[in-house]
Structures are given as C-alpha cells and as structure tokens.
Chains A and B, each alone.
Chain A
Amino acid sequence: MSAVMNVLGETSLGAAQAVLGIGAVVVPLMIAVEVLKALNVFQRLSDWLAPAARGLGLSANAAFPLVAGAVLGLSYGSGLIIDSAQEGRLDRRDAYLLTAFLAPCHAVFEDTLIFVPLGANPWVVLSMRFAAAVAVTLVAGRLWAMRERAGRGLRDPALGKEDRV
C-alpha cells in the first residue's frame, strides 16, 4: 500500500515540477511580449529587418509576418500572418518562402526556453534552428526562381492544389 502511495506521490511531485518549470518560462515571456507589443517593437524591428528579409528573397512586406512568426510562433502569430496574406501584401513567392523559413524557426524563444528546465542547451537549439531556416529559405528561393524561369512559377507542383490564390 505504501509503495502505491510512494509512486503516486513521486509522480504528482514530478508532474507539478514540470508544470512549474513551464510556467517559469511562459509567464515572464508573455509579460515581455505584451510590453514589446505595447511599445510597438515588432513593427519597428520588422522595418529594421526589411533589408535582411530581401536578402532571403522575400519582399519588404514579408518582414512583419516573418518577425511575428519567428518570435511569437505560428499559433500566436498566426493572426498577424494570415492578415498580411489576406490583405494581399504577400504574393505566392512570399507565402512559400515564409513557410520555408518559419517551418524550422518559429516561436524560437518559448520553444527553446521550455526545454531548459529539462537540461537542454538553449544556444545550441537557437543557433541550429536559425541556421536551418536561413539555409532552407535560400534553397527554396533558388528552386522558386528555377521554376519561374521554366515558366511554371504559378503552377508549382510542390505547392499542390491550393496553389491558386
């Protein structure tokens, strides 16, 4: 009987620790995000990063959804990303390259920091994800340019049926 109690005690203690570890990351992070939003930092950061976005083959309009997705994540930043797409500020090429960049590199602070209580090295995780995002976007940009030259840019087989926008 006491063995069962021990198992239950250990398990609930461990689960509580895991939740506290996540809360210790998520709460300060969300406070920081709200303060940065109030100070309009994301808009300014994306203006500042527009040249870097162009270096990746994206238009300057894509800088804001890029920053929002990379920092806030796909679910949290999705409102901003989808708005930009629907207002017609993103063309097909932007949407494709944005997806390529954000696939390995979104919500980078939250997703990296929550692994720290489990012993992960945040610098290794951050730098690997960012490097992969840049590499994938550059390759995707080349592929897109090749298809465009071949006259198939608007009917990209890699994008499938939902290609018509």
Chain B
Amino acid sequence: MIAAAVFRGLRKGLHTTLTLAKAVVPAYVAVSLLARTPVLDWLGGLATPWLSVLGLPGEAALPLLLGMFVSLYSGIGALASLELGAREATIVAVVLGVAHSLVIETAVTRQIGVASRFPLTLRIGLGLAMGALLHRVWGG
C-alpha cells in the first residue's frame, strides 16, 4: 500500500513539475531576454517608488505581477532570472505566498459560496502589508 502511494506520488510529482515547467520556462526566458534590453530598466524605473515600500528593486514588479495574476510559477520563473538577495527573495515569497494565481484560486472560494471580492481584496492587501512589515522588521 505504501509502495503504491510512493509510486503515485512520484508520478504526480513528475507530472506536476512538467506542467509547472510550461509556466516557469517562458517567464524565465522572457524576463532574462528583457533584462538585456532597456525595457526592463524602464519598467523597473517606473515601479521603483512603489516597490521601495516593500524594500524591493523596481525590476521585481514583473515577478510580482506575473505571480499574482497569471500563476505563482510564472512569477517564480521570472524571479529566478533576476538575481535577488535572501532578504528580497523572502519578501517576494511572503507577498506571492499570500497573493498568487488569484484568477484561478478565487474560483474555488466562489464554489463554496463566498463572493470573490472578499478573498481578492484580502489577499492583495494582506500580501502587500506583510511584505512591507517584513521589510521594516528585517532591517537591511
């Protein structure tokens, strides 16, 4: 019974990794190619004043937006192509951990009879607030 469970987990894990690769690879490639053009710098410049509240550089806007609205894994792919320190990576992990894949996941809570406005505002607001809090607490 345990052996069957291990095998089932292995199969599911490999299958999931493959599915996730379809989100990670395009985001990684797009952002790392974009990083070689002035576009990312320009976008980063626009986002810098907003993201300084979270203690993040402007270019982190891309993984944050992808992670929140497309899927967590496209955000991770984009994040992997930027080289951020442990503190910055932890802040992004907290913000995206709370507020990610919002389009898909909100559909689940609607199924149990809770309107989407509630989890949506809660997760975006809470994610940003916790990121800002962590930035304050973890001096750097």
A47 within 8 A of B: no
- Expressed in whole angstroms, the minimum distance between the Cβ of B117 and any Cβ of chain A is 6
Contact B104 A75 (CB under 8 A): yes
Contact A125 B94 (CB under 8 A): yes
Contact B114 A96 (CB under 8 A): yes
Interface residues on B, range: 35 or more
Complex Cα gap A161–B118 (Å):
12
- Expressed in whole angstroms, the minimum distance between the Cβ of A112 and any Cβ of chain B is 7
Contact A119 B5 (CB under 8 A): no
A160 within 8 A of B: yes
Contact A85 B113 (CB under 8 A): yes
A28 within 8 A of B: yes
Contact B12 A34 (CB under 8 A): yes
Interface membership of chain A positions 1-23, coded 1 if the CB is closer than 8 angstroms to chain B and 0 otherwise: 00000010011101101110111
Contact B86 A163 (CB under 8 A): no
Contact A38 B5 (CB under 8 A): yes
Known: A22-B24, A114-B76. A159 touches B9 (CB 8 A): no
* B residues apposed to A, CB below 8 Å: 1-2, 4-6, 8-10, 12-14, 16-17, 20-21, 24-25, 28-29, 32-33, 36, 72-73, 76-77, 79-81, 84-86, 89-90, 92-94, 96-98, 100-101, 104-105, 108-115, 117-119, 122-123, 126-127, 130, 133-134, 138
Chain A residue numbers with a CB within 8 Å of B92 are 115, 120
Complex Cα gap A46–B40 (Å):
47
If over half of B's interface residues share one DSSP class (helix, strand or loop), that class is named, otherwise mixed; here it is: helix
Chain B residue numbers with a CB within 8 Å of A18 are 24-25, 28, 76-77, 80-81
Complex Cα gap A114–B10 (Å):
17
Contact B97 A129 (CB under 8 A): yes
Contact for A19 among B9, B24, B115, CB less than 8 A? B24
Chain B residue numbers with a CB within 8 Å of A150 are none
A138 within 8 A of B: no
Complex Cα gap A159–B8 (Å):
39
Contact A136 B126 (CB under 8 A): yes
Complex Cα gap A98–B111 (Å):
13
Q: List 17 A-B contacts (CB under 8 A).
A: A11-B32, A14-B81, A27-B13, A30-B16, A31-B6, A35-B9, A39-B2, A85-B111, A99-B118, A104-B98, A111-B100, A119-B85, A119-B89, A128-B94, A128-B134, A129-B97, A163-B113
